[in-house]
Amino acid sequence: MSDIRVFAAGSLRIVWPELMRQFKLQNRHTVTTDFGPAGLLLQRIEQGEPCHLFASANSAHPQRLFDAGRALTTRIFTHNSLCLSISPSLAAEKREWLDMLLDPSLRVATSTPLSDPSGDYAWELFELIEASHPTRGDELKRRAMPLVGGPESPAVPAGKVAASWLLESGQADLFIGYQSYSPLLKAEGKVVILPIPAPWQIQADYTFALCSREAEALGEFLLSKEAKALFHRAGFGR
């Protein structure tokens, strides 16, 4: 039996226990996982911390390790997308998602760009908005508050989802985050989820970097039909 050390994007935390339970039924490996914003995890690997497999919320970070000779291969293993979380009172106004996002009186929160891919994807959304609504996307970049996922960001309280925590605590009126949190947020019933339609949607390609042969079996499992079904059930894309 060998131990596999994994660094994994924080958004995988909700599905990872079931994935590892199924993986362990088929393998004798023990998996130890550190979760966090993928950009910050990448820095730790580049600074020399041991990691056998890095599961990132984007393709750029694993590719950087591969280009530097720190990874044997990279593979996309699941997908995610963006959505808006808003309060029930704001949802009662029946406004379009873009109208609310562009309203300067509403406070928009995101994850932290560069440190957390979710923040990078939010900035990509702002660029799409800028292309069709000149000055408005750039205005969003100035207004948006990167409240989570950064090196100095306060930790989201245990058992809480960032979106509901930020809205309930009055820190923001809208949060741009991952669609994969929708099942948890809907179960909580404290925020309303608005999907972002296809013309504006940003696809997040979750990619792993295989940094050691010791993690080959885990990499193969993450690409399996069984794992894909678990991801889909947890709110990730196919």
pLDDT tens for 30-69 read: 999 999 999 999 999 999 999 999 999 999 999 999 999 9
Same domain, 186 and 229: no
Same domain, 92 and 150: yes
Same domain, 68 and 173: no
**Cα(36)–Cα(139) distance, integer angstroms:** 29
Same domain, 99 and 167: yes
pLDDT per position as a tens digit, 141-165: 999 999 999 999 999 998 889 999 9
Same domain, 73 and 164: no
Same domain, 148 and 105: yes
Which residue type is seen at 30?
T
In a domain, 196, yes or no: yes
**Cα(103)–Cα(101) distance, integer angstroms:** 6
Is a pLDDT exceeding 80 seen at residue 225? yes
The model carries a pTM of 0.94
In a domain, 152, yes or no: yes
Is a pLDDT exceeding 70 seen at residue 2? no
In a domain, 110, yes or no: yes
The count of structural domains within the chain is 2
**Cα(105)–Cα(116) distance, integer angstroms:** 26
Is a pLDDT exceeding 80 seen at residue 1? no
The neighbouring-strand residues paired with 9 are 36
Same domain, 70 and 153: no
Same domain, 132 and 174: yes
Same domain, 179 and 133: yes
In a domain, 117, yes or no: yes
In a domain, 238, yes or no: no
Same domain, 174 and 211: no
Query: Which residue segment(s) compose the domain that 187 sits in?
Result: 82-200
Q: Give which of 167, 67, 161, 57 is closest to 113, Cα–Cα.
A: 57
Give the pLDDT confidence score for residue 43 in this predicted structure. Answer: 97
Same domain, 171 and 93: yes
Which domain CATH number covers 185? 3.40.190.10
Same domain, 194 and 89: yes
Helix, coil or strand: residue 157 = coil
